[in-house]
Amino acid sequence: MTAHRHSPGSHHGPATDPGPFRVLVRELPCHRTVRVDGAFVAGLLAGLPMRDALGLAADDPEAGAAELDVDLYADNAHVFVAGTLRGHEVVACSRCVGPARLTLDETISATFMSPGELAAARAADEAAAAAAGAGTTRDGAAADDEDAGLELAAEDLDVFAYDGESVDLEPIVREQLVLAVPYAPLCKEDCRGLCPQCGIDRNVETCTCQPPGDPRFAALGALKLQS
Ligand SMILES: [Zn+2]
Ligand SMILES: [Zn+2]
């Protein structure tokens, strides 16, 4: 199934298909499985240098695939989402610029709260960060204890806003797929990369280029020979 792209604030007409990511609060508790295909993954990663370097189509069906498998339940003010996101995605190897397949096996733990509560939690985070920056130690901050719950909510969990009627699971998938891309992806641990001089892929070809060497070391070597 092709995942339905759904941006916040797009059409909410009664006849509009809410898409596979949207879950109604009145249907909770429930279990939801959402599959995303290559075109969805490609669209999501488009714009990341480590994806664009592959030079593939914006709807590349081989860009990846994933399955979100979660339980959802609610209390009076929140919706909790817990489960897994499994699959794979393909980005460029940071050494050879060939495809690097990344395995996704992520634990999902997210909380949806009202926009007001989310803003308050984020403000508490910023205040705590500012206090920490001013040299306040966690042990000595007894006065902060009453805010500890809010801090935890925003710092340690994935938190999202919802309108009280439905939650949108797409931002969870979006965030996990982007966060799973490492700073320097590798196609394999021992990728030999491209030759910095002639540019061949040293995993598949061999060249006779010599490393240019560092002129400072060359001078050092000459000194040693003289002594
Ligand atoms: Zn590589
Ligand atoms: Zn070379």
The full set of domain ranges for the chain reads 22-114+162-191, 192-227
Percent pLDDT > 70 in the chain is: 77
Query: How many C-beta atoms lie closer than 10 Å to residue 185's C-beta?
Result: 22
- When the pLDDT of each residue in the chain is averaged and rounded to a whole number, the result is 84
Q: Which ligand is nearest to the CA of 185?
A: 1
CB atoms within 10 A of CB 90: 23
Ligand 2 center to 196 CA (angstroms): 7
What's the CA-to-centroid distance between 201 and ligand 2, angstroms?
A: 9
Cβ proximity of 108 and 206 under 8 Å: no
Name residues with Cβ closer than 5 Å to ligand 2, which is an ion.
Answer: 195, 197-198, 207, 209
Average pLDDT of the segment spanning 26-37: 96
138 versus 28: the higher-pLDDT residue is 28
pLDDT tens-digit map of 70-122: 999 999 899 999 999 999 999 999 999 999 999 999 999 999 999 999 999 88
Ligand 2 centroid to 102 CA: how many Å? 28
Q: Which residue in the block uniquely carries the two structure tokens 């040299």?
A: 135
Q: In what order do the strands lie in the sheet with 30-36?
A: 30-36, 64-74, 79-92, 99-113, 158-161
